[in-house]
Amino acid sequence: MRQIGSRVRSLAQCAETPRGSFKLERNQMNYRHAYHAGNFADVFKHAILARILLHLAAKDTPFRYMDTHAGVGLYDLAGEEAQKTAEAASGVRRFLAAPRPPAIEELFKPYLAALKAFNALEGLHYPGSPMIAAQMLRPADRLSLAELHPEDARALLRRFQRDRRATVVAMDGWQALKAWLPPPERRGMVLVDPPFEQEDEFDRMAGALEGAHRRWATGTIAFWYPIKGWREADRFSRAVTALAIPRTLRLEMLIDAEGDDRSLNGAGMIVVNPPWTLKDDASVMLPFLTRAMARGPKTRWRVDWLQGE
């Protein structure tokens, strides 16, 4: 595969980053997001992501968006994988079908614009976080995208090979997080969205958050996580609170507060240095989302500071 410009790397090459060079990772992964694209957790994650990017783009100076577990970027909702689980039906399609008052419509406007750009409103495709970012970033802004799964990394590279703003690397996202921070622009955000295939993923995430903040104390750092039951999520929140990182915001929603602890019942996001409007925005967005995509009569959500200023 040919190299396009200086910002997109072939999968056969070393993945160069501002902090050094790393070999292509050969570890195999089982998780494929194509089976889950457009589910309720995606709607939650991407609607919040769009609000953060909107805030970053409000200033003239360029910024960098970094995605450590980027996936393929765009998903075919009519494809075999998405049809097998049909998770978009109870996710993005239920969200789109729910009546949205004007105030709600305004808060979801950047997310809805991204869906419209990729024909998600017609149920054809669903944009992952890299494509939402690419849609919202300006010509002078930059994207750094990492994906470990070999097939998905090749698909991601093909999708971005003509975008000179983008650097695509085939490597472990946790290594990419260490390599990328701090970015040359010093402004921007990093989204960490691991597949949670390992039992110690929450512990690893807390340690990675501490390291990321140490290297880039002024950046917006967002860590997404699944919620099966409150106990595991609360344990993670306590670990993050113990880090005493200033301006750490917790966002969580459960679409089934009494669901089976073995199944995905909710999603959360820890955001360090969030936009100053995000807490108030999310306090309106999350109640709407939990009602729109609820699996039962009891849902829960919370938006609070684990550490303030």
Lookup: tokens for 305: 């500071």
String of b and e for 101-112 (b: at least 16 CB within 10 Å)? eeebeebbebbb
Active-site residue (options: 193, 200, 260, 280) = 193
Sequence-ordered list of residues with C-beta below 8 angstroms from that of 217, at least 6 positions apart, any chain: none
Is residue 193 annotated as part of the catalytic site, yes or no?
yes
Catalytic (active-site) positions: 193
